[in-house]
Structure 1
């Protein structure tokens, strides 16, 4: 018997001897049949000085009938015990983290120095392509999107609906937030989103290929505020520093990550970006929790179905045998 087999109502097994108790304790069922009066019946009664009385006979069953009925009863009792196969508690993804992607969509992200499937493409298109897969893998996280350039704006508030987040990602394009790069503003806008939410675990992924414009909120000041608010920032630089006119400020991105307990990554091409997202999955793994509901497979329909099938077959067999018996009696009567 498998370890996961379980009987919900074992007390029902006490009903197994019930038919025997009924057989022993209750009187037999006497069946009446029509009597055939013989000629001179009343004279015979007077002659014997006996009074006519009502009579009945006890219909007896054969051993085979008793065996079938007992098997049917056992199957019904087995169904009443409600046998089950109980699986192990399922594990479900626990929603315990806000994961915010803060992406640079300034004009520099329009450079066509990356490739998708061997074809030249804009940095932003390549980033979007890989980011889609990353978002879909974050089931359990509440994802949000902030895009920035000269200004920063919220594209998608925190939501567990990753399909909607992916659609909102598709709607964004280079230049929608202006041509400059304001990293400090972007971090500050992300912190505003975290302030309005209740989940304690807060993770931000800051993605840029440029250098802060230098006016307004300074990136390190915004990062210090993030540290105080327990927001961890992973920074991701796009491009190759010192190559092709790149002005990526790696030093600032490294300081932001170090200050908040995160980590800095450099993505020189799409393949490296995919590797980085895989590393992020390991650094911020999905959390699982055991559910109270265990998968249960009910087994009672099987003995119940067999019992019903035996009852129907035995009834049909009894009718068939009775019909043959009547047919033979009539045939013998005709010969007589």
Structure 2
């Protein structure tokens, strides 16, 4: 209830320390002003205690209430309503180029490489509210899954829909995947343009040389982060398709063209990463997220509602009431 209730001048509350002094002064002064008559006996006197004399201290109580209300008014109580508005001053356009070849179903990451990537990429996308993001998928060939857009719902739906199928020719066309991603960004007017290229193999398909694609990225001012995903040594990977259409898995040597990925990243001003397990993959996307920051400008609007006026009016009313009592009912005691 009082979360947004503040005082502009709380230092005036120190004046409350004067009130006990005023009470002490009033008691001392009243005792000094009380007349005292000593007689041997009150027999023969009709003693009648008047109710006005007992109520006389109410004048002082009213005066104290007036002082307390004035102190609270001087402290300027008010409520504040804060509203914020954010805007991106330097948005980043990002294309995620994802290898969807059959080897991405290898189970050295849990539950497999592709699903592990989708889980981490989803969090990465949600954490980039001010950026536009697009998706490119590739195997033996490549195509755009979704162009760069600020609508994260569309991107997340497209990411969830990514899976291995027979639509794309099998293989790993790193050059084609990178070139398609460059094509998505070449006309972008964003201050920063980034490609996150992920693969688990070597370039063995496609008609575009990866080095040619990286030169295009340099020409259009696009930075490329490359990620090689897969454990060291052997990994349980698809090796054949059974009659029922399911994959048969067997241990296969993990081969990633790290030299090529390092060269692509280095020539474009990016960085190469190696993800050997789920945790490492999460760390990689977290590091890329920290390296590519979007400048956010936040505007805060404060709406103040001053509450001191009712206190001043109440203090004035009590003061007037006290003066009227002093000049009428309690006049004989002044």
- Paired residue for 2:268? 260
Q: Of residues 293, 298, 303 in structure 2, which corresponds to 1:297? A: 303
Residues 95 and 5 from structure 1, CA distance in 2 versus in 1: closer, same or farther, beyond 3 angstroms?
A: farther
The counterpart of 1:278, out of the listed 286, 289, 309, is: 286
Output the CA distance in 1 between the equivalents of 2:168 and 2:131: 26
SS of structure 1 residue aligned to 2:253: coil
C-alpha RMSD of matched pairs (Å): 4.1
**Pick from 94, 108, 124: which aligns with 1:134?**
124
SS at match of 2:300: coil
- 1:87-102 superposed matches below 5 A: 93-102=88-97
Following superposition, the deviation at residue 296 of structure 1 comes to 0.9
Counterpart of 2:24 in structure 1 is: none
Runs (4 or more) in structure 1 with deviation over 4 Å come to: 4-7, 83-93, 304-315
Distance 1:304 1:163, change over 3 A: farther
Corresponding residue SS for 2:208: coil
Aligned 1:88-127 pairs, distance under 5 A: 93-115=88-110, 121-127=111-117
2:36 aligns with none
Aligned position for 1:170: 160
| Residue in structure 2 matching 1:157, options 147, 164, 175 | 147
Question: Any conservation in 1 of the 2:200–2:256 contact (CA below 8 Å)?
Answer: yes
Structure 2: gaps (5+ residues):
1-5, 10-58, 235-251, 330-334
Distance 1:214 1:155, change over 3 A: closer
Residue 216 of structure 2 aligns with which residue?
225
TM-score, normalising length: structure 2: 0.62
Q: Which has the higher contact order (CA 8 A, sep 6+)?
A: 2
Q: Give SS of 1:186's match.
A: helix
User: What is the aligned partner in structure 1 of residue 207 from structure 2?
Assistant: 216
Contact 1:207/1:237 (CA < 8 Å) preserved in 2? yes
Change (3 A) 1:305 1:178: farther
TM-score, length basis structure 1: 0.61
Give the SS at the match of 2:184: helix
Distance (Å, rounded) in 1 between the aligned partners of 2:138 and 2:282? 22
Check if 1:185 corresponds to 2:176.
yes
Give the conservation status (yes or no) of the 8 Å contact 1:107–1:178: no
User: CA 1:85/1:150 → structure 2, altered by over 3 Å: closer, same or farther?
Assistant: same
SS at match of 1:114: coil
More strand by share: 2
- After superposition, the C-alpha distances for 1:147-167 in whole angstroms (9 at most, x for unaligned) are 111222222222223233222
What 5-or-longer segments of structure 1 have no aligned partner?
8-62, 116-120, 326-336
Provide the C-alpha distance between the structure 2 equivalents of 1:179 and 1:107, rounded to a whole number of angstroms. 7
Matches within 5 A, 1:42-81: none
Q: Answer whether contact 1:235 1:263 (CA < 8 A) is retained.
A: yes
How many residues in Structure 1 have an aligned counterpart in Structure 2?
Answer: 251
CA distance in 1, matches of 2:217, 2:136: 15
CA deviation vs aligned residue, 1:59-89 (integer Å, no higher than 9, x gap): xxxx9xxx9xx99xx9xx99xx9x8969899
Shift of 1:273: 0.5
Residues 223, 265 of structure 2: 8 Å contact kept: yes
Instruction: Quote how far apart the aligned CAs of 1:216 are.
Output: 0.3
- Distance in 1, matches of 2:318 and 2:172, equals 83
